[in-house]
């Protein structure tokens, strides 16, 4: 116990972290700042608009749209964990972040990622029920089950992220330089002077028990959906296509960004140009929050009709 307290004390002596991926582009940084600010405001507007549309219209109080509402809330949460700090560092001369805010950012970003993949997985199961068991859908996917699924996703993500942060906080660090434009857990773990076996084991267990299970659920759902599409009529295929296209696009987009983030953390990417590395590390955080409301708002007919009625209402 004393040894653990000593390690925690040594870890707390790191007062700040340096974000080494930032560079000084000169006066162009103000243009970059305005572009990123406009993009952030666009993300807020799009997600808040669709959350309001779903909450205020009873015709959209169905499981699919309630899961979408949870997804849009998560996009807002994840964006606020990245963009304010990113905007500050774009125009700042010193690119440092305090230890407290660094771990707050780690918590926010990893919690966002956990909720995102869990919600997309639950949505794939919801689409499986809607297409493969349409007559039993409302009996099997009740409002109580939607609430239970949503609560489980958010509460489990809180627990998993807190455990991960606690393990990282117990490490004694030998440096404070992070080769990124934001704080992430693996970058801080790599600064440790001590054996990080426990952190690695937790990461591997989480990956092979949770992530693999979610991937299996998604694959199972879409395999059954494809079987129904191939054996069904053209109307069934059209319904499945219109329902699953935005979800599949969102899932692929998020997986693409998360895959490159994992690759960057586990392998040496020093030969890749800095600009490319920075963009790939940010893509899963900046692409998804705008891609989701855009994709679902344009393709899902009910949302599009309600938005038009609100916009062009006399």
User: What CA–CA distance (Å, rounded) separates 80 from 74?
Assistant: 10
Q: How confident is the model at residue 2 (pLDDT cuts 50, 70, 90)?
A: very low
Beta carbons within 8 Å of 201's beta carbon, 6+ residues apart: none
Q: What is the pLDDT of residues 15-37, one digit of tens each?
A: 889 998 888 777 888 999 999 99
Q: How confident is the model at residue 13 (pLDDT cuts 50, 70, 90)?
A: low
Q: What is the pLDDT of residues 198-213, one digit of tens each?
A: 888 888 888 778 888 8
Residue 87 CB burial class (10 angstroms; 0-12, 13-18, ≥19): middle
Distance of CA 169 to the CA centre of its chain: 23
| Segment among 63-72, 79-88, 106-115, 272-281 with least mean pLDDT | 272-281
Question: CA angle, 93 as apex, 89 and 99 as ends, to 5°?
Answer: 55
Residue 87 is predicted with a pLDDT of 93
Indicate yes or no: pTM above 0.85: yes
- Choose which CATH entry (1.20.1070.10, 1.10.645.10, 3.40.920.10, 3.40.50.2300) describes domain 2-309: 1.20.1070.10
Q: What is the residue extent of each domain of the chain? A: 2-309
Predicted confidence (pLDDT) at residue 4 exceeds the cutoff of 60? no
Q: What is the pLDDT of residues 260-312, one digit of tens each?
A: 887 776 776 777 777 888 888 888 889 999 999 988 877 777 777 777 776 66
Q: What is the pLDDT of residues 213-261, one digit of tens each?
A: 888 999 999 898 888 887 767 777 777 777 788 888 899 999 888 888 8
- Residue 173: phi and psi, rounded to 5, are -100, 145
Predicted confidence (pLDDT) at residue 3 exceeds the cutoff of 80? no
**Cβ distance 44 to 58 under 8 Å?**
no
Q: How confident is the model at residue 154 (pLDDT cuts 50, 70, 90)?
A: very high
Q: What is the pLDDT of residues 110-135, one digit of tens each?
A: 999 999 999 999 999 999 998 888 88
Q: What is the pLDDT of residues 174-189, one digit of tens each?
A: 888 888 899 988 889 8
């Amino acid at each position: 116990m004393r040894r653990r307290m000593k390690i925690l004390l040594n870890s707390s002596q790191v007062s700040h972290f340096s974000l080494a991926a930032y560079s000084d582009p000169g006066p162009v940084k103000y243009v970059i700042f305005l572009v990123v600010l406009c993009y952030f405001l666009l993300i807020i507007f799009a997600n808040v608009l669709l959350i309001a549309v779903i909450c205020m219209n009873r015709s959209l109080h169905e499981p699919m749209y309630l899961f979408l509402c949870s997804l849009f809330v998560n996009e807002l949460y994840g964006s606020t964990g990245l963009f304010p700090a990113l905007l500050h560092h774009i125009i700042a001369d010193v690119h440092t972040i305090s230890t407290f805010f660094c771990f707050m950012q780690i918590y926010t970003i990893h919690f966002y990622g956990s909720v995102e993949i869990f919600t997309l997985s639950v949505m794939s199961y919801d689409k499986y029920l809607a297409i493969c068991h349409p007559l039993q859908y409302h009996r099997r996917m009740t409002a109580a089950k939607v609430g239970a699924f949503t609560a489980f996703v958010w509460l489990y993500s809180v627990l998993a992220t807190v455990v991960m942060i606690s393990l990282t906080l117990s490490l004694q660090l030998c440096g404070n330089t992070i080769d990124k434009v934001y704080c992430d857990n693996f970058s801080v773990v790599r600064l440790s002077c001590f054996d990080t076996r426990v952190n690695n084991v937790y990461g591997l267990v989480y990956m092979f028990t949770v992530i693999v299970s979610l991937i299996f659920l998604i694959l199972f759902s879409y395999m059954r959906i494809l079987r129904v599409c191939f054996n069904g009529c053209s109307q069934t295929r059209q319904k499945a296509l219109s329902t699953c296209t935005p979800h599949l696009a969102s899932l692929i987009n998020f997986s693409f960004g998360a895959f490159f983030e994992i690759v960057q953390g586990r392998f040496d990417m020093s030969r890749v140009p800095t600009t490319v590395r920075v963009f790939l590390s940010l893509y899963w955080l900046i692409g998804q929050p705008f891609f989701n409301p855009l994709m679902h708002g344009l393709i899902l007919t009910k949302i599009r009709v309600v938005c038009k009625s609100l916009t062009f209402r006399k």
